[in-house]
Amino acid sequence: MITSTAFAGKRYAVLGLARSGAAAVEALLASGAKVTAWDLQEDARGKFEGRVELADPLEKDLTGFDGVIVSPGVPLNTHPIKPHAEKFGVPVIGDIELFALARQDLPPHKVVGITGTNGKSTTTALVHYILEQAGIPSTMGGNIGLPILGQDPLPEGGAYVLELSSYQIDLTRSLDCEAAALLNITPDHLNRYDGFEGYAFSKGRLMAMQSSGQLAVFGGQDTATRAIVAAEQSRRPSGRAVEVDKQALADLQPGWPNLQGPHNLENVAVAIALVEEMGVTRSQWESALPNFTGLGHRMERVTNHEGVLFINDSKATNQASTAPALAAYPPEANGRARIHWIVGGLPKEDGLGECEQHLGNVAAAYTIGEAGPRFAELLEPHVAVHKSELLCEAVRCAVDHAQPGDVILLSPACASFDQFRDYEKRGEHFRQVVAALTGASSEIQQALAEGVDI
């Protein structure tokens, strides 16, 4: 784990003992800090019985505490912990801020920070992969992978690659990344902010925390991102706030089978700018990109069966995230649309949003879940619609209608919680159904034919 003398003899409260909170407690204890910890779940608290003071920081006098560490899932705009801590002048921070404070004791290294509404997981994984292929010690954390404090320190010359949500940035004060990227900003998580402007400001803080000489990389051309570009270019030396030229890479994209679509062209352009700042050469990233396998549930190629490509994009939980997937598969040369789009779930927003401009790529839509009827209503004037309730029904119907050269795309534009625990379970279920329909046992085939949701 990552420890630091910066915490020795200090006093912290940790609220929430899931993965990042538990890792923070372990790192603080190993660093010689005194810790008060609390979680509503008795099992989570039990792991620290006798090692920490188990008490709810909301019920404590926090005088003398050096910080309250909370999970990114704690809504600072409504949770009472923030005003309670402020009464005692105690900062409310997260595990990323602890990592930033611990950097002074790590072997010489660099940090890459990546944020944005959409694409940050793919870009983070891609940067980490390219660095590893180039022989640069690397690990990834933050909003992806294992908690960063629970990982072993990298050797000298290593690079920590952090995917950072707006929630994590809100809990961070001093993370000065050697290279940071903002991919794009579109409306999301607005229940946690004072409007879209507050959400955009949160994203921009990743760059604001950097020293002026560090590299800032920008992808999107949306208005909110452009405003941050202008602000950062005004405070940095020339060439240290970079807008990527993704079209310069367009001729290479056909060689990256798991990085198709205009959104991935942007992700790659940002990743290249970041890894080159870490010392990676063009020949190194060019040889790495064709072998990148991508992330599970994000434009994941499940199989190609009888000329039909099956894509699992279950991680697309809003319209802005689904739109690039629809854009990735244009019609055939004769104009025939190829996408059989499985859409629906628990809606985050009404309407089609950015998806509407790509409906010319859609041969048919297969609506599922709570949002299914509304999507059917919106889509019927534009494309053929097949109404389903369960995912297995939609996949089976899509298989019946797809032709060689077509794409069956699960990109729901909705959260999963109406039918699944999370988007990962939804994506795993899609894989299982596809496997059953393309080569599983006769028993599974029969169950699907009878509408059983396996």
Residues designated catalytic: 120, 143, 189
Starting from the edge strand earliest in sequence, which strands make up the sheet with 92-93, in order? 53-54, 34-38, 11-15, 67-70, 92-93
Of 212, 269, 282, 263, nearest in space to 240 by CA = 212
Which residue carries 């019927």 as its tokens? 380
What count of Cα atoms within 13 Å lies in the side-chain half-sphere of residue 93? 20
8 Å CB contact between 263 and 321: no
Give the span between the Cα atoms of 65 and 85, in whole angstroms: 9
Which run of H or E residues covers position 368? strand 362-368
Cβ-proximal residues to 50 (8 Å cutoff; 6+ apart), any chain: none
Cβ-proximal residues to 88 (8 Å cutoff; 6+ apart), any chain: 61, 62, 63, 65
Query: What would the DSSP string read from start to end of 106-125?
Result: SPSEEEEEEE-SSSHHHHHH
Give the span between the Cα atoms of 54 and 328, in whole angstroms: 51
Of 37, 40, 67, 68, nearest in space to 55 by CA = 37
